Every structure is written in structure tokens, then in C-alpha cells.
Chain A
Amino acid sequence: DAGITQSPRHKVTETGTPVTLRCHQTENHRYMYWYRQDPGHGLRLIHYSYGVKDTDKGEVSDGYSVSRSKTEDFLLTLESATSSQTSVYFCAISVSPPGQGHGEQFFGPGTRLTVL
């Protein structure tokens, strides 16, 4: 699992509450990603980071923000959770051998979020 952990693993919250999900890596990789997985949609990229304090939007970024103050931590925040954000959230890192461009991604175990 390339030393990737996610917390919490499960969370139930109510509409309108803020929620923060944490992704932690132990191997000092530069690129990190947040995806959501929903039935019929596969995985969709929410936000990604290419370094400390360097982040950018993905395909489905509305309603989400991210922060990366340290190389090892990438936080995903739902400022005001909605039922449409009920999903399974995966964090990933990109393993980029020098000079070979981007390669495979390693995924964390996922966080199952339910917004009531």
C-alpha cells in the first residue's frame, strides 16, 4: 500500500456539517490525489497536489477544498456536506521514477462517507 493511510475509515455526518478527510503517506512522494468512487461513475478526480501548498482542481471539485501544508499530509474538506457527497473517497500517490514520467498510482484503503 506504499505507506498510505486514510482517516477516518468510516464517517456518518449530517447535511451542512463540515468534514475533513486525511490522507497520510510515509514515502515523501510529491504527487497526491483525491478521488471519489460512486456506482456507475468509476473513480473521478476531485483535487490533486504536486507539492506543498501546490494544489489544483480535478473533474469534480465543486463543494470540496484541499490543503497540503506538509509533504506527507493531504487533507480534503467538505465545507458544508450534502447528501450528494455520500461516497467512498480514495487518496492516491503517483510513483514517478526519475526521467520516466508518471507511472502507477498507489491507493489508500478508502473512507466511506455517509451524509444524512
Chain B
Amino acid sequence: SQQGEEDPQALSIQEGENATMNCSYKTSINNLQWYRQNSGRGLVHLILIRSNEREKHSGRLRVTLDTSKKSSSLLITASRAADTASYFCATDTYGSSNTGKLIFGQGTTLQVKP
């Protein structure tokens, strides 16, 4: 079963615009992570937010976490064509015996048009 559900499944924007992706999950978490995957490549870690944090920034990325709603959002500001990729949220579920197992959402495919 999928812990993370992402919305939208696909997003197309113009370069310079902001892109927002949302992730919802079902059970309590230790942390939530966002990854990027370029076509044909492995996943690259973007940012991790812990369950006791509400917002985190990294460069043009801003992640929020609302544990009461079991949801997170990833905002990419001033998007560039190079941001074109698939973005996945992943949760480290609370009580997973500290194994580090992640449960991934199905991803959002972002296209940034030059």
C-alpha cells in the first residue's frame, strides 16, 4: 500500500513560475523526504523535514509539513528548465524499528517550459 499520495500527478509551467507539489500520507512519521528523479536516472535526495519541524528551506526549495493533516508540500520558486523531472515524497514511518525503510509516493512529473 502506498503511504504517500502526491498531487498533482503532472504539472506543466513556464520558466520563472513557481511549482507546488503536495504529498499526503496515512500514518505517523519520523520524517518526510523529497527526492528528484531525472529521466532514466536514480533518485536524488532534495530535502528532509522531521516530524517536529513545520517548514524547511534549501535554496529555491521550500518544504512544509502539517502533521495534523498528514500532508507536506514542496515549493520550487523561480523554476528553470533544468527543474524538469519527477518529484517523489517518501516517509520514514514511525515505529519502523529504526530500519530507515521509506515508503514512496507515486510522484509528480514536472515540466518547465523555456
Contact = CB atoms under 8 A, between A and B. Distances in A.
Interface string A81-112: 00000000010101010000111111111100
Contacts of A50: 99
Contact of A107 (B30, B42, B106): B42
**Category for how many chain A residues contact B:** 20 to 34
**Category for how many chain B residues contact A:** 20 to 34
Contacts of A92: 43
Nearest to A107: B42
Contacts of B45: 104-106
Contact of B43 (A31, A59, A90, A94): A90
Interface stretch (A14-22, A35-43, A64-72): A35-43
B102 interface: yes
List 5 tightest A-B contacts by C-beta distance, closest first.
A102-B100, A107-B42, A104-B45, A94-B100, A43-B104
